[in-house]
Copies of this chain bind each other. A is one copy, B any other.
Amino acid sequence: MTRVLVVDDDAQILRALRINLAARGYQVLTAVDGASALRVAADDHPEVVVLDLGLPDLEGTDVIAGLRGWTQVPIIVLSARTDSTDKVDALDAGADDYVTKPFGMAELLARLRAAVRRSTVGQVDGEPVVSTATFTVDLAAKKVVRDNAEVHLTPTEWGILEQLVRNHGKLVGQRQLLQEVWGPAYGKETNYLRVYLAQLRRKLEPDPARPRHLITEPGMGYRFEL
């Protein structure tokens, strides 16, 4: 499911966007000011950001810069300003697109699709198979093989492993992991993760007590290393 972060201090627009996006199958994250937008983006790694200019706390260009400091996530700017210099500033700060209010929902959705499409092409791995020294994960077939024998995983175990493998090398926050596997309502049940990570390690690690591939980063999340 594609996660989209909507940043706007206008409750009306926020509501309209949330409804329309949710109806199209997007998972919607929201923020009402720049600081929380940066925090949510860092925590949950949305695939695309819709950013209203004129937030109460930060300049729009500062929010863009704050995101661009560490991520290439597509940013679509919303603004009431039709002034050309505003558009140029936002785009040069790193925004991907600029839509002026009032905007047509159909157009915004099309621009959103275009942005997401752009960012996802080319990143698909040729082989959806990832191998480590001790086991092999086939993302497409949803199968795990170890010592020439298939390892049976429960749906939850697979969900966690899939998230970690898809982001291999990168740290996956426990909040993000919980929301991807259990749903957006979860976020603090870190004990679930402890239980299932232990199970995965028991099934996959050569020495479950000293994991080499399913690494814990205390207080932050988990990481899959080849």
A92-147 residues with Cβ-Cβ distance < 8 A to B are 92, 94-98, 104, 106-107, 109-111, 113-114, 117-118, 121-122, 126, 128, 139-143
Are the C-beta atoms of A141 and B70 separated by less than 8 Å?
no
Compute how far the CA of A149 lies from the CA of B70 in the bound complex, rounded to whole angstroms: 22
The 8 A CB mask of A173-212 against B (1 = contact, 0 = none) is 0000000000000000000000000000000000000000
Q: Does A71 contact B (CB under 8 A)?
A: yes
Q: Assess A166 versus B91: contact at CB under 8 Å? Given A97-B97, A114-B96.
A: no
The 8 A CB mask of A213-226 against B (1 = contact, 0 = none) is 00001111001000
Q: Does A85 contact B (CB under 8 A)?
A: yes
CB neighbours of A217 from chain B (8 A)? 142
Q: Does A171 contact B (CB under 8 A)?
A: yes
Residue of B nearest to A155 (CB): B219
Q: Does A169 contact B (CB under 8 A)?
A: yes
Residue of B nearest to A141 (CB): B170
Main secondary structure of the interface of A (DSSP, over half): mixed
Are the C-beta atoms of A166 and B71 separated by less than 8 Å?
no
Compute how far the CA of A118 lies from the CA of B118 in the bound complex, rounded to whole angstroms: 9
Are the C-beta atoms of A218 and B154 separated by less than 8 Å?
yes
> A109 to chain B: closest CB distance in Å?
8
Are the C-beta atoms of A143 and B114 separated by less than 8 Å?
no
Are the C-beta atoms of B158 and A220 separated by less than 8 Å?
yes
Which of A107, A126, A169, A223: most chain B Cβ within 10 A? A107
- List 17 A–B pairs whose Cβ atoms lie within 8 Å, in order of A's numbering: A66-B166, A69-B139, A69-B165, A70-B139, A70-B140, A71-B139, A71-B140, A72-B122, A88-B109, A88-B110, A91-B110, A91-B113, A92-B113, A94-B117, A96-B114, A141-B223, A143-B169
